[in-house]
Amino acid sequence: MTASLVVQTSFLGDTVLTTPLLAFLARSGPVDVLCTPAAGALLEHHPAVRRTIPYDKRGGDHGWLAMLTLARALRRERYTSAYFAQGSVRSGMIGWAASIPDRVGFATSAGRRFYTTRIAPLDNVHHAARLLSLGTRDPFATVPTADLRPRLYPGERERHAVDVLLAANHATNDRLIALAPGSVWATKRWPYYAELAALLADDARIVIVGAAADRALAEAIAGGAKGRAIDATGKLSLLASAELIRRASAIVTNDSSPLHLASAMNTPTVAIFGPTVPEFGFGPLAERSLVLGQASLACRPCDRHGPRKCPLGHWRCMREITPEDVARSVRHLTAGGMAPTLSIL
């Protein structure tokens, strides 16, 4: 049986949101994924993925020679179809040069000239649904809500790493609340995580998740947590971080990758949106979640990704969401509350 190839070399959050497409395609045959090395690690153990093919486009695989070498290797696999979840010209050229006869991508992508089937993406749906439409080839197809939630599958190594971290902090049996303060985009970082940790420290142990680059943020948060914080930043792999998030009673996160890890592990989520809005298609998909944002600001949203600095200099979209607002939302979810998207006005 000939396999399909999914091309996804975007941000890690996009990789997570591609997993519903992978699961859909796997119903018809094996699925390989061309992705960054970091994304390949994130997809380890995924039952819908036969194998990942690492493509370090900004590192060792940069340049035309590496691209053509990859295309020749893919040609030998005789893929019947390729699905371009990442739509650059380079990705499209790789699929074309690999002689994959059926190449499916978005009609708005930069690489669309290399596709044989072009799907018009919808603006008013979640990005997971947009990506899944590549597989259904119908952006209006009705998909059960459960099929839109992404999935990740931490293995024994990841579970052991989390066990070791919690045991080292004498928290093996403690109730956990996860905080994810980081983001590549500075204006997406809500500034009051330390104050929030102080409010929630009596409710549960605070565990701070993120990359090593978030260590300074974590230290500030731990300082306000009454000695009840666990700094996990930079100490776990992405897949192990997903396992840690799975064990939390709830997570508070910016519009960033941990939000999508939480969706994949179905952890109750409080998502804080400032310059961006969930209507762009990147809100939480956990069964129980709340979105906090300043809906009354005329300047919001100001950017699809989040600018480096507030264009107007006031950053009210984040500053006016208070620690008390967020703590109240966390307690609502951890008490078993169900709620639709919530906006703080």
Indicate the residue among 148, 183, 218 that finishes a domain: 148
The predicted-structure confidence for 221-261, as pLDDT tens digits, reads as follows 999 888 899 999 999 999 999 999 999 999 999 999 999 99
Strands (E), the chain: 4-8, 31-35, 51-54, 81-84, 102-106, 117-119, 176-180, 205-208, 229-231, 250-254, 269-272, 289-292
Shared domain check, 194 and 76: no
* Residue 279 placed within a domain: yes
* Lookup: tokens for 336: 């078993």
Contacts of 335 (CB under 8 A, 6+ apart): none
Indicate the residue among 148, 168, 202 that finishes a domain: 148
- Structural domain boundaries, residue 107: 4-148
Q: Which pLDDT tens digits describe the chain residue by residue (345 residues)?
A: 679 999 999 989 999 999 999 999 999 999 999 999 999 999 999 999 999 999 998 888 888 899 999 999 999 999 999 999 999 999 999 999 999 999 999 999 999 999 999 999 998 899 999 999 999 999 998 888 889 999 999 999 999 999 999 999 999 999 999 999 999 899 999 999 999 999 999 999 999 999 999 999 999 999 988 889 999 999 999 999 999 999 999 999 999 999 999 999 999 999 999 999 999 999 999 999 999 999 999 999 998 888 889 999 999 999 999 999 999 999 999 987 665 544 554
The predicted-structure confidence for 290-315, as pLDDT tens digits, reads as follows 999 999 999 999 988 888 899 999 99
d(CA 79, CA 101): 8
Q: Identify the CA nearest to 93 among candidates 34, 153, 28.
A: 34
Indicate the residue among 103, 129, 148 that finishes a domain: 148
Shared domain check, 126 and 240: no
DSSP 2: P
- Cβ count within 10 A of residue 26: 18
DSSP 10: S
Tokens 């000239």, located at residue = 113
Torsion 199-204-209-212 (CA) sign: positive
* Residue 340 placed within a domain: no
